[in-house]
Homo-oligomer: A and B are copies of this chain.
Amino acid sequence: MESKLGFLFDIGIILLAANIGGIISKKLKQPVVLGQILVGLILGMGILEKTETVSQLAEIGVVFLMFIAGLETDVNELKASGRSSSLIALGGVLIPFILVFAGMYIVTSNFLASLFMGVIATATSVSISVQTLREIDQMRSRQGIGILGAAIIDDVVGIILLTLIIGVVRPGENNNVFLVIGKIGIFFIMTFIIGYLLIRVMSKISTKINIDDKIVSFAIVFCFILAFLSEELGVAAITGAYFSGVVFSMTSCRHKLSHEVHRISSIIFTPIFFVAIGLGVDLRAAISALGIGIILVVLGSLGKIIGCGFGAKISGFGNKEALQIGFGMVPRAEVAIIIANLGLAINVINEKQLASVIMMVLITTLITPSLLKWSFGRA
């Protein structure tokens, strides 16, 4: 019986560490996520093991994160920022992808791993962009809206890219790219048909019985089952979670859902996810990944600044504004780590490369606020 409840102790320690890490991060004006990963790194140095229970709770955490990201994908906001956001996003996906892929391929000679690292380099973090822009009170500026819109498109494109590459590299599956795209097509069509029907049924039922207090539960059920099914169909679970969020983002309860799911997730599951990432990192590998990490940080950051800046420039922004937008698109966070984690799980990248991604997240998150402050300060 004693060891049977050891998981309660593990979770308690992880949540405590996550909170302490978060508080220290906040004191140092850093994103909470950073502190959580760092305490995970410390706990991983022989204090705690990454048990199956911790891994599964962490998996629920990432599913919730992507579900919330889906819920917060505003199709109308996208339309409003429109052409410029699309060009910024396009540049911000293409250039980092090409630069990092090329750089990694030159260093590692591993085609698939380099492709995967390229995909990882495309994923800008919306949350950190928003947080940074809010801090310097530039969220409603033209550059701010451009960054936000581009970050949303970036997310969607990143997930499609990820889905493509997962389908291609998944071992034991048919590697025919057209078959994979077809399967993904079927997945998306299926998701939207199910989603459409679900929303129709929901709006009909809600006139008869009060579904309001049940909606959070049903949305979570939908999200978990779609995440599972997408995995079974050869698409990543987080893709299913993201699109189940998108489905519910088209209902009137999106704000309620995003608020409630965030609440549940942020107290238990999300902290466990970020600490577990740290727990899972071999620090010796991270230090040995210094070389590859620096390449990734430099190429990934330059790629975003050049790509997004160029996209902004040709859609009508001035040089200064284009640079600000480029800086705003530099930070990577959870999504990059999620993809890297997945890549490790399916043996496409190794621990060293995962460690280099964590280094990229740490460094880009640390430098972005300063870069943005400096560039806006000059204005």
Residues of A within 8 A of B (CB): 1-2, 5-9, 11-13, 15-16, 18-19, 23, 52-53, 56, 59-60, 63, 209, 214, 216-218, 220-222, 224-225, 227-228, 231-232, 237, 260, 263-264, 267-268, 271, 345-346
Say whether B12 contacts A224, CB under 8 Å: yes
Identical chains bound together, number: 2
Q: Smallest Cβ distance from A115 to chain B, in angstroms?
A: 19
Assembled-state Cα–Cα distance A59/B4 (Å): 10
Q: Which residues of B contact A60 (CB under 8 A)?
A: 8, 11
Q: Smallest Cβ distance from A218 to chain B, in angstroms?
A: 7
Query: A-side binding surface: helix, strand, loop or mixed?
Result: helix
Considering only CB atoms, which chain B residue lies closest to A22 in the complex?
A: B214
6 contacts between A and B (CB under 8 A): A2-B232, A12-B224, A15-B220, A23-B214, A52-B52, A263-B263
A5-B227, A263-B263 given. 10 additional CB < 8 A pairs?
A5-B228, A8-B225, A8-B228, A8-B237, A9-B224, A9-B228, A11-B60, A12-B224, A12-B228, A53-B53
Among B15, B237, B263, point to the contact of A221 (Cβ < 8 A).
B15
Q: Which residues of B contact A9 (CB under 8 A)?
A: 224-225, 228
Say whether B2 contacts A231, CB under 8 Å: yes
